[in-house]
Amino acid sequence: MNKSGNAADKALNRRLSTSASPHLAGVILVVVSAVVFSTAGVFTKAVNAGSWEIIFWRGAFAAGFTFAYVIWRGSFRQNFVRIGRSGWAVAIIGASGSAAFIPAFKLTTMANVMLIYAAAPLLAALLAWIWIRERMTQKVMFGCLAAFGGVSIIVQGSLGAVSLQGDLLALWMTIVMAVLMVIYRRYPDTPAAGPMALSSVLLLPFGLLLGMPFTVPLHEFVTMAAFGLVFAIASVTLAEGMKRIPAGEAALLSALETPLAPLFGWMFFTEVPANATFFGGALILVAVIATQIKSPTN
Protein backbone atom coordinates (compact mmCIF):
# COMPACT_ATOMS: atom_id res chain seq x y z
CA MET A 1 0.00 0.00 0.00
CA ASN A 2 2.72 2.50 0.98
CA LYS A 3 4.91 1.56 -1.99
CA SER A 4 2.05 2.07 -4.43
CA GLY A 5 1.20 5.37 -2.76
CA ASN A 6 4.79 6.59 -3.01
CA ALA A 7 4.85 5.59 -6.67
CA ALA A 8 1.63 7.52 -7.28
CA ASP A 9 3.05 10.60 -5.55
CA LYS A 10 6.24 10.40 -7.59
CA ALA A 11 4.25 9.99 -10.80
CA LEU A 12 2.13 13.06 -9.98
CA ASN A 13 5.19 15.15 -9.13
CA ARG A 14 6.93 13.95 -12.30
CA ARG A 15 4.00 14.97 -14.51
CA LEU A 16 3.89 18.41 -12.89
CA SER A 17 7.63 18.99 -13.09
CA THR A 18 7.92 17.96 -16.75
CA SER A 19 5.70 20.84 -17.88
CA ALA A 20 6.54 23.49 -15.29
CA SER A 21 8.71 24.33 -12.32
CA PRO A 22 7.46 23.22 -8.90
CA HIS A 23 6.56 26.82 -8.05
CA LEU A 24 4.58 27.34 -11.25
CA ALA A 25 2.87 23.99 -10.76
CA GLY A 26 1.87 25.07 -7.25
CA VAL A 27 0.49 28.37 -8.55
CA ILE A 28 -1.56 26.54 -11.20
CA LEU A 29 -2.95 24.05 -8.66
CA VAL A 30 -4.01 26.76 -6.19
CA VAL A 31 -5.59 28.86 -8.94
CA VAL A 32 -7.52 25.82 -10.19
CA SER A 33 -8.67 25.17 -6.62
CA ALA A 34 -9.85 28.78 -6.22
CA VAL A 35 -11.76 28.73 -9.51
CA VAL A 36 -13.41 25.40 -8.64
CA PHE A 37 -14.30 26.51 -5.09
CA SER A 38 -15.93 29.67 -6.47
CA THR A 39 -18.60 27.52 -8.17
CA ALA A 40 -20.03 26.25 -4.86
CA GLY A 41 -22.81 28.81 -4.86
CA VAL A 42 -23.72 27.95 -8.45
CA PHE A 43 -24.25 24.27 -7.56
CA THR A 44 -26.23 25.19 -4.44
CA LYS A 45 -28.57 27.62 -6.17
CA ALA A 46 -28.93 25.48 -9.31
CA VAL A 47 -31.12 22.92 -7.52
CA ASN A 48 -34.47 23.26 -5.75
CA ALA A 49 -33.52 20.66 -3.15
CA GLY A 50 -33.30 21.83 0.45
CA SER A 51 -30.05 22.56 2.26
CA TRP A 52 -29.93 19.22 4.09
CA GLU A 53 -30.53 17.26 0.89
CA ILE A 54 -27.59 19.08 -0.70
CA ILE A 55 -25.43 18.60 2.40
CA PHE A 56 -26.20 14.86 2.37
CA TRP A 57 -25.41 14.15 -1.28
CA ARG A 58 -22.51 16.56 -1.60
CA GLY A 59 -21.01 15.06 1.55
CA ALA A 60 -21.58 11.47 0.45
CA PHE A 61 -19.88 11.96 -2.91
CA ALA A 62 -17.13 14.22 -1.58
CA ALA A 63 -16.28 11.62 1.08
CA GLY A 64 -16.35 8.81 -1.49
CA PHE A 65 -14.04 10.62 -3.90
CA THR A 66 -11.70 11.59 -1.07
CA PHE A 67 -11.54 8.01 0.24
CA ALA A 68 -10.61 6.89 -3.28
CA TYR A 69 -7.87 9.53 -3.48
CA VAL A 70 -6.44 8.53 -0.08
CA ILE A 71 -6.38 4.86 -1.06
CA TRP A 72 -4.73 5.73 -4.40
CA ARG A 73 -2.02 7.63 -2.52
CA GLY A 74 -1.56 4.77 -0.08
CA SER A 75 -2.03 7.09 2.90
CA PHE A 76 -5.10 5.53 4.53
CA ARG A 77 -3.29 4.83 7.79
CA GLN A 78 -1.91 8.37 8.01
CA ASN A 79 -5.25 10.04 7.22
CA PHE A 80 -7.61 7.85 9.26
CA VAL A 81 -5.88 5.43 11.65
CA ARG A 82 -3.43 8.07 12.90
CA ILE A 83 -5.82 10.99 12.64
CA GLY A 84 -5.23 12.05 16.26
CA ARG A 85 -7.17 14.47 18.45
CA SER A 86 -6.41 17.44 16.24
CA GLY A 87 -7.73 15.55 13.22
CA TRP A 88 -10.98 14.74 15.01
CA ALA A 89 -11.25 18.38 16.08
CA VAL A 90 -10.89 19.44 12.45
CA ALA A 91 -13.56 16.93 11.38
CA ILE A 92 -16.11 17.95 14.04
CA ILE A 93 -15.56 21.71 13.80
CA GLY A 94 -15.39 21.50 10.02
CA ALA A 95 -18.74 19.68 9.95
CA SER A 96 -20.39 22.62 11.71
CA GLY A 97 -18.94 24.95 9.10
CA SER A 98 -20.19 22.77 6.25
CA ALA A 99 -23.67 22.74 7.83
CA ALA A 100 -23.66 26.56 7.62
CA PHE A 101 -22.01 26.75 4.20
CA ILE A 102 -24.90 25.45 2.08
CA PRO A 103 -27.84 27.27 3.71
CA ALA A 104 -25.83 30.51 3.63
CA PHE A 105 -25.94 30.40 -0.18
CA LYS A 106 -29.65 29.63 -0.06
CA LEU A 107 -30.46 32.58 2.21
CA THR A 108 -28.24 35.36 0.85
CA THR A 109 -26.34 36.28 -2.29
CA MET A 110 -23.16 34.56 -3.45
CA ALA A 111 -21.38 37.92 -3.18
CA ASN A 112 -22.27 38.31 0.51
CA VAL A 113 -21.14 34.77 1.36
CA MET A 114 -17.80 34.92 -0.43
CA LEU A 115 -16.89 38.46 0.63
CA ILE A 116 -17.54 37.64 4.30
CA TYR A 117 -15.58 34.40 3.84
CA ALA A 118 -12.63 36.38 2.43
CA ALA A 119 -11.91 37.66 5.95
CA ALA A 120 -10.95 34.13 7.13
CA PRO A 121 -7.13 34.50 6.74
CA LEU A 122 -7.10 37.72 8.78
CA LEU A 123 -9.38 36.26 11.44
CA ALA A 124 -7.03 33.26 11.58
CA ALA A 125 -4.10 35.61 12.18
CA LEU A 126 -5.95 37.16 15.11
CA LEU A 127 -6.85 33.76 16.58
CA ALA A 128 -3.26 32.56 16.14
CA TRP A 129 -2.05 35.62 18.08
CA ILE A 130 -4.51 34.89 20.91
CA TRP A 131 -4.15 31.09 21.02
CA ILE A 132 -0.58 30.21 20.06
CA ARG A 133 1.00 33.64 20.59
CA GLU A 134 2.02 33.89 16.96
CA ARG A 135 3.47 37.33 16.25
CA MET A 136 1.10 39.70 14.45
CA THR A 137 2.61 42.52 12.45
CA GLN A 138 1.16 46.01 12.54
CA LYS A 139 0.04 45.60 8.93
CA VAL A 140 -1.90 42.42 9.72
CA MET A 141 -3.43 44.06 12.80
CA PHE A 142 -4.77 46.96 10.73
CA GLY A 143 -5.88 44.44 8.09
CA CYS A 144 -7.93 42.57 10.71
CA LEU A 145 -9.63 45.77 11.81
CA ALA A 146 -10.42 46.68 8.19
CA ALA A 147 -11.76 43.17 7.46
CA PHE A 148 -14.02 43.23 10.51
CA GLY A 149 -15.23 46.66 9.42
CA GLY A 150 -16.02 45.29 5.96
CA VAL A 151 -17.97 42.34 7.38
CA SER A 152 -19.91 44.73 9.63
CA ILE A 153 -20.87 46.89 6.64
CA ILE A 154 -22.12 43.84 4.68
CA VAL A 155 -24.13 42.48 7.63
CA GLN A 156 -25.55 45.93 8.42
CA GLY A 157 -26.78 46.16 4.84
CA SER A 158 -28.83 42.99 5.47
CA LEU A 159 -30.48 44.15 8.69
CA GLY A 160 -34.23 43.70 8.52
CA ALA A 161 -33.95 41.42 5.48
CA VAL A 162 -34.13 37.65 5.03
CA SER A 163 -30.48 37.65 3.91
CA LEU A 164 -29.32 38.56 7.44
CA GLN A 165 -29.59 34.90 8.49
CA GLY A 166 -27.50 33.89 5.48
CA ASP A 167 -24.88 36.51 6.33
CA LEU A 168 -24.64 35.22 9.90
CA LEU A 169 -24.25 31.63 8.65
CA ALA A 170 -21.49 32.82 6.31
CA LEU A 171 -19.83 34.54 9.27
CA TRP A 172 -19.94 31.29 11.27
CA MET A 173 -18.44 29.43 8.31
CA THR A 174 -15.66 32.04 8.22
CA ILE A 175 -14.95 31.65 11.94
CA VAL A 176 -14.80 27.86 11.54
CA MET A 177 -12.34 28.13 8.65
CA ALA A 178 -10.14 30.48 10.69
CA VAL A 179 -10.14 28.01 13.60
CA LEU A 180 -9.16 25.16 11.26
CA MET A 181 -6.27 27.25 9.86
CA VAL A 182 -4.95 27.81 13.38
CA ILE A 183 -5.32 24.12 14.30
CA TYR A 184 -3.23 23.16 11.28
CA ARG A 185 -0.65 25.78 12.20
CA ARG A 186 -0.53 24.61 15.82
CA TYR A 187 -0.50 20.92 14.87
CA PRO A 188 1.15 20.79 11.41
CA ASP A 189 1.17 16.97 11.32
CA THR A 190 -2.64 16.88 11.25
CA PRO A 191 -3.76 15.13 8.03
CA ALA A 192 -5.95 17.05 5.58
CA ALA A 193 -7.88 14.54 3.46
CA GLY A 194 -9.05 12.25 6.29
CA PRO A 195 -10.66 14.92 8.50
CA MET A 196 -12.27 16.52 5.45
CA ALA A 197 -13.90 13.22 4.49
CA LEU A 198 -14.97 12.52 8.07
CA SER A 199 -16.57 15.96 8.40
CA SER A 200 -18.78 15.05 5.44
CA VAL A 201 -19.61 11.64 6.92
CA LEU A 202 -20.56 13.16 10.29
CA LEU A 203 -23.28 15.21 8.58
CA LEU A 204 -24.91 12.26 6.78
CA PRO A 205 -27.15 11.20 9.71
CA PHE A 206 -28.34 14.81 10.10
CA GLY A 207 -29.11 14.91 6.39
CA LEU A 208 -31.27 11.81 6.76
CA LEU A 209 -33.08 13.12 9.84
CA LEU A 210 -33.61 16.74 8.78
CA GLY A 211 -33.99 16.27 5.03
CA MET A 212 -35.37 13.86 2.44
CA PRO A 213 -32.33 13.08 0.28
CA PHE A 214 -33.89 10.06 -1.46
CA THR A 215 -36.76 12.08 -2.90
CA VAL A 216 -34.70 14.48 -5.05
CA PRO A 217 -35.19 14.31 -8.84
CA LEU A 218 -32.58 12.47 -10.91
CA HIS A 219 -31.21 15.59 -12.60
CA GLU A 220 -30.68 17.30 -9.25
CA PHE A 221 -29.05 14.14 -7.90
CA VAL A 222 -26.54 14.30 -10.77
CA THR A 223 -25.87 17.98 -10.03
CA MET A 224 -25.19 17.25 -6.34
CA ALA A 225 -22.94 14.33 -7.26
CA ALA A 226 -20.95 16.70 -9.48
CA PHE A 227 -20.83 19.15 -6.56
CA GLY A 228 -19.25 16.46 -4.39
CA LEU A 229 -16.67 15.66 -7.06
CA VAL A 230 -15.84 19.34 -7.57
CA PHE A 231 -15.47 19.88 -3.81
CA ALA A 232 -13.09 16.91 -3.54
CA ILE A 233 -11.03 18.09 -6.54
CA ALA A 234 -10.74 21.62 -5.11
CA SER A 235 -9.60 20.29 -1.73
CA VAL A 236 -6.98 17.98 -3.26
CA THR A 237 -5.56 20.59 -5.67
CA LEU A 238 -5.33 23.13 -2.84
CA ALA A 239 -3.49 20.65 -0.60
CA GLU A 240 -1.07 19.71 -3.39
CA GLY A 241 -0.52 23.33 -4.42
CA MET A 242 0.23 24.54 -0.89
CA LYS A 243 3.11 22.06 -0.71
CA ARG A 244 4.86 23.91 -3.54
CA ILE A 245 4.42 27.61 -2.76
CA PRO A 246 4.66 29.82 0.38
CA ALA A 247 1.57 30.03 2.57
CA GLY A 248 1.20 33.78 2.04
CA GLU A 249 1.21 33.40 -1.73
CA ALA A 250 -1.29 30.56 -1.48
CA ALA A 251 -3.63 32.73 0.61
CA LEU A 252 -3.42 35.56 -1.92
CA LEU A 253 -4.10 33.25 -4.89
CA SER A 254 -6.98 31.61 -3.03
CA ALA A 255 -8.60 35.04 -2.72
CA LEU A 256 -9.29 34.76 -6.46
CA GLU A 257 -12.50 32.87 -5.63
CA THR A 258 -13.89 35.97 -3.88
CA PRO A 259 -14.49 38.14 -6.99
CA LEU A 260 -15.33 35.11 -9.17
CA ALA A 261 -18.29 33.95 -7.03
CA PRO A 262 -20.23 37.25 -7.31
CA LEU A 263 -19.49 37.26 -11.04
CA PHE A 264 -20.99 33.76 -11.39
CA GLY A 265 -23.97 34.87 -9.29
CA TRP A 266 -24.61 37.72 -11.70
CA MET A 267 -24.06 35.56 -14.81
CA PHE A 268 -26.25 32.61 -13.81
CA PHE A 269 -28.80 34.08 -11.39
CA THR A 270 -28.77 37.84 -12.19
CA GLU A 271 -27.83 38.59 -8.58
CA VAL A 272 -26.93 42.25 -8.11
CA PRO A 273 -25.11 42.89 -4.82
CA ALA A 274 -26.31 45.73 -2.59
CA ASN A 275 -24.23 48.89 -2.23
CA ALA A 276 -23.20 47.80 1.28
CA THR A 277 -21.82 44.58 -0.22
CA PHE A 278 -19.71 46.54 -2.71
CA PHE A 279 -18.26 48.85 -0.05
CA GLY A 280 -17.74 46.19 2.60
CA GLY A 281 -16.38 43.66 0.10
CA ALA A 282 -13.91 46.18 -1.33
CA LEU A 283 -12.66 46.93 2.19
CA ILE A 284 -12.16 43.21 2.92
CA LEU A 285 -10.36 42.52 -0.38
CA VAL A 286 -8.03 45.50 0.05
CA ALA A 287 -7.25 44.37 3.60
CA VAL A 288 -6.47 40.78 2.52
CA ILE A 289 -4.34 41.77 -0.49
CA ALA A 290 -2.47 44.49 1.41
CA THR A 291 -1.43 42.08 4.16
CA GLN A 292 -0.07 39.59 1.61
CA ILE A 293 2.01 42.03 -0.45
CA LYS A 294 5.57 42.07 0.80
CA SER A 295 7.70 45.19 0.94
CA PRO A 296 10.68 45.50 -1.51
CA THR A 297 13.11 44.86 1.35
CA ASN A 298 11.57 41.42 1.93
Regarding predicted confidence, which is higher, 21 or 47? 47
**Could you tell me which of 78, 90, 73 has the C-alpha nearest to residue 195?**
90
> What pLDDT digit, counting tens, does each position of 187-246 carry?
878 887 888 889 999 999 999 999 999 999 999 999 999 998 888 888 778 767 766 776
**Could you tell me which of 176, 160, 118 has the C-alpha nearest to residue 143?**
118
Q: Is the pLDDT of residue 2 over 60?
A: no
CA distances to 52, 228, 274, 277 from 234, in Å? 21, 10, 29, 26
CA distances to 37, 122, 130, 178, 225 from 31, in Å? 10, 20, 30, 20, 23
> What pLDDT digit, counting tens, does each position of 172-201 carry?
988 888 888 788 878 878 887 888 889 999
**Predicted local distance difference test score (pLDDT) of residue 268:** 84
Q: Is the pLDDT of residue 1 over 50?
A: no
What pTM did the predictor assign? 0.76
**Could you tell me which of 33, 31, 154 has the C-alpha nearest to residue 104?**
154
**Could you tell me which of 276, 280, 288 has the C-alpha nearest to residue 252?**
288
E strands in the chain: none
Amino acid at site 203 = L
**Could you tell me which of 288, 275, 293 has the C-alpha nearest to residue 111?**
275
Q: Is the pLDDT of residue 170 over 80?
A: yes
Tell me, rounded to whole angstroms, the distance of Cα 234 from its chain centroid. Answer: 9
The mean pLDDT value of the chain amounts to: 79
Q: How many residues does the chain have?
A: 298
